[in-house]
Structure 1
Amino acid sequence: MPRHTPLLTAALACTLLLSGCADNTTSSTTADSKNVAHIKIPDKVKAGTSITIGAPDTQVALKLSGQIKKLPFKVKWANISGGPQCSEAFRAHSLDLCASAEIPSIHAHWTGLDTKLVAAEFRKDPLKHPVYELGIAPGAHIDTLADLRGKKIAYSPGQAQGALVLRILAKAGLTKKDVQLVELPSTGDVYPTALGSHQVDAAPLGGVNIKRYPAKYGKDGGKTIPHGLRDDPAHLWAPTASVSDPQKAAAIREFIKFWARSEMWIEQHPKEWIDGYYVKDQGLTRADGEYLVKQNGQVDIPDDWTPAIARQQKTVDLLAKETGQKKFDTGILFDRRYESVAADAIAKAGKP
């Protein structure tokens, strides 16, 4: 999921996790970023190999599709996903693989946590199907991005929403000094409530909140506006220690294949996904599930990460400039031994 869970599952607040809140000062604990390219991944996973995975939506998809029993290794499922929770579990050496956006891996590097991205997923039409829209408080008088000057904006350091805010400001020709950033955790209904109560003037909203917020506050002038930026990167993310272990690396490779096929299954079985995940697992209404399926659009799982790495480099450069962190080569975060695994699995599954 990476395309589903972050929109629905509450993450720990940044105040609870130092590794996710590194925006304010320059870090002196930058990760060493071990090069694992030379480590050969075995062709097969040994019986008894076990890895712990935090990807709740993929777990549901594998159950619904009947594929979960076919995994050729043991899996301990952890009901966590997203940057702060994943980082905390990685530091505790209790997780081998997790679903998240791209920002957590950047901040992990800046706070001394060595990790690798092992799978990448995007949206085929990211501007038509954005992950977030910018929520506007009633009476804030914000109609364009330029109107953000001098306004209070919800900001979650170390997470995708926080990075998006900085990118939105850059697009509008603004910097952090031109606005008032209000640090708030991007969990549950925190952002919609902050907007409705005028605690902030603007905040990035995702998932069903894009639909619910204007429905609840629209009569008072609450609304959302598009930001016009790509905000769709989603990844499977692992601590470097796990992908350095040959057998765990092999298990992760096999899981990526199942993950990729499950993403295609979700796309091809929207009714089953709405019933089994959004309604039964997440407790949403059927209408909300139908909205999210439409909002997510179709997925793009590339076999070449070069464009994604280039886009992520631009994000790193911007974050470094705005937060005082040190620039680095984003390519070190991607374990390219896995680059074509997901796309190849999908291609192979589609052959008669």
Structure 2
Amino acid sequence: MSERTRVALCAALIAPLLLSGCAGTQASTADSKNVADVKIPEKVDPGTTLTIGAPDIKVALKLSGQADKLPFTVKWANLSGGPQCSEAFRAHSLDVCSAAEIPSIHAHWTGLDTKLVAARFRKDPIKHPTYELGIAPGAGIDTLKDLRGKKIAYSPGQAQGALVLRILAKAGLTKDDVELVELPSTGDVYPTALGSRQVDAAPLGSVNIKRYAVKYGKDGGKTIHHGLRDDPGHLWVPTEAVSDPKKAAAIREFVKFWARAQVWIDQHPDEWIEGYYVKDQGLSREDGEYLVKLSGHPDIPADWTSAIERQQQTIDLLAKETGKESFDAETLFDRRYESVAADAIKPDAEAGS
């Protein structure tokens, strides 16, 4: 292993320890404010400004010609995902963020009051998973049950960490049956840790699935399917944002544009590959084509009942495995927005309304 790789891995191992020390200074749980009775104005005040962390949606709106139609001022922040957005929420510098299901749960347990205002899933989620389980060369893992006694990369507070616990539960194992190695899931940390055999297994997503097999396949590195749903995607906001009537109205409008952007991406794969994956992300066209195929088609429900039930199952599992106190998943969802996204993509919905 090169010195550069060794330093990167050491830094990655130390970082979660530092973060967990900081988290200890936060409140143990958030006081979830009920905003259900706060009326959202019918019209958006054009003087309203939202700071939004959703880099892919920014590009989609620009490519689809919708960016200039937003009825409020937007400041785009080049960040997304749990750790970055939660810190920005705490600093009162972000109003909306793209994130998976776990960050809102983790936020609740660390004293940050937030809400989910949009939900997106994948049609046929088992066929089109977000992650596959990467297996290190020589690890001797062919099925999920083979994980017993193995070292598994684990990122608490992120979707990958929860997926690891769900995989263990499916295999009839608990975290005590394996060795969880805390590593952030950013960049190529997981593929590097697998390839250098620092861990035996790690959830891999995006192009890392393809690249890992190409780079380490000749040595025995591989991925296996976990067979679980891992597809939730949300628009996530601090509760203080949706408590402000003017911002709440602007957020409602952004949810509509977000939903239409999901449909536009699905219906314009070539433009999306070229405009986002190649020009914006710097990936090859081949990688872009792979990611489009991997992502499947969007499923944006008008009823969140099933989504909340799945979120509750995740909360209960995480609580059991981490010693946290379970809570009602309903508190994480702002159901004033429940049908907004789905209504915006109905065939008879007026574009830009």
CA drift of 1:348 comes to 4.8
What does residue 227 of structure 1 align with? 226
What does residue 39 of structure 1 align with? 38
Indicate the SS of the match to 1:121. strand
CA drift of 1:15 comes to 6.7
2:16–2:182 Cα contact (<8 Å) kept: no
1:20–1:159 Cα contact (<8 Å) kept: no
What does residue 194 of structure 1 align with? 193
What does residue 81 of structure 1 align with? 80
- The within-5 A match list for 1:85-164 is 85-164=84-163
Gaps of 5+ in 2: 1-10
Cα RMSD between the aligned structures?
A: 2.1
Whole-angstrom distance in 1 between the partners of 2:324 and 2:64: 43
Going from structure 1 to structure 2, the CA distance change for 1:210 and 1:46 (only over 3 Å counts) comes to same
Is 2:172 aligned against 1:173?
yes
Indicate the SS of the match to 2:345. helix
Q: Residue by residue, what CA displacement relative to the aligned partner does 1:152-206 show, whole Å, maximum 9, x if unpaired? A: 0000010000000000001101111100001111011000000000000000000
What is the letter of the counterpart of residue 80 of structure 2?
Answer: S
CA drift of 1:73 comes to 0.3
What is the letter of the counterpart of residue 146 of structure 2?
Answer: D
Going from structure 1 to structure 2, the CA distance change for 1:330 and 1:21 (only over 3 Å counts) comes to farther
Indicate the SS of the match to 2:104. helix
Indicate the SS of the match to 1:153. strand
Going from structure 1 to structure 2, the CA distance change for 1:93 and 1:246 (only over 3 Å counts) comes to same
CA drift of 1:274 comes to 0.1
Whole-angstrom distance in 1 between the partners of 2:350 and 2:337: 21
- The within-5 A match list for 1:163-312 is 163-312=162-311
Indicate the SS of the match to 2:199. coil
CA drift of 1:47 comes to 2.1
Indicate the SS of the match to 2:107. helix
Gaps of 5+ in 1: 1-11
- My pick for the range that moved more, 25-34 or 251-260, is 25-34
Whole-angstrom distance in 2 between the partners of 1:153 and 1:202: 5
CA drift of 1:146 comes to 0.2
2:27–2:110 Cα contact (<8 Å) kept: yes
What does residue 315 of structure 1 align with? 314
CA drift of 1:104 comes to 0.3
Is 2:71 aligned against 1:69?
no
CA drift of 1:29 comes to 2.4
CA drift of 1:26 comes to 12
Indicate the SS of the match to 1:72. coil
Q: Residue by residue, what CA displacement relative to the aligned partner does 1:116-148 show, whole Å, maximum 9, x if unpaired? A: 000000001100000000000000000000000
Going from structure 1 to structure 2, the CA distance change for 1:34 and 1:336 (only over 3 Å counts) comes to same
What is the letter of the counterpart of residue 327 of structure 1?
Answer: S
Indicate the SS of the match to 1:347. coil
Whole-angstrom distance in 1 between the partners of 2:49 and 2:18: 26
What is the letter of the counterpart of residue 42 of structure 1?
Answer: P
> With structure 1 as the length reference, what TM-score do the two structures score?
0.93
1:26–1:326 Cα contact (<8 Å) kept: no
Going from structure 1 to structure 2, the CA distance change for 1:13 and 1:140 (only over 3 Å counts) comes to closer
1:25–1:325 Cα contact (<8 Å) kept: no
Going from structure 1 to structure 2, the CA distance change for 1:18 and 1:64 (only over 3 Å counts) comes to farther
Indicate the SS of the match to 1:93. coil
Whole-angstrom distance in 1 between the partners of 2:34 and 2:206: 36
Q: Residue by residue, what CA displacement relative to the aligned partner does 1:202-249 show, whole Å, maximum 9, x if unpaired? A: 000000011110111001100000001000000000000000000000
- Of all paired residues, the percent bearing the same amino acid is 77
2:343–2:349 Cα contact (<8 Å) kept: no
> With structure 2 as the length reference, what TM-score do the two structures score?
0.93
Going from structure 1 to structure 2, the CA distance change for 1:116 and 1:14 (only over 3 Å counts) comes to farther
Whole-angstrom distance in 2 between the partners of 1:34 and 1:350: 32
Q: Residue by residue, what CA displacement relative to the aligned partner does 1:263-292 show, whole Å, maximum 9, x if unpaired? A: 100001000000000000000000000000
What does residue 5 of structure 1 align with? none
Whole-angstrom distance in 2 between the partners of 1:164 and 1:346: 30
| Large movers: runs of 4+ above 4 Å | 12-22, 24-28, 348-352
Whole-angstrom distance in 2 between the partners of 1:339 and 1:127: 24
Whole-angstrom distance in 2 between the partners of 1:212 and 1:187: 15
Indicate the SS of the match to 1:140. coil
Indicate the SS of the match to 2:52. strand
2:152–2:179 Cα contact (<8 Å) kept: yes
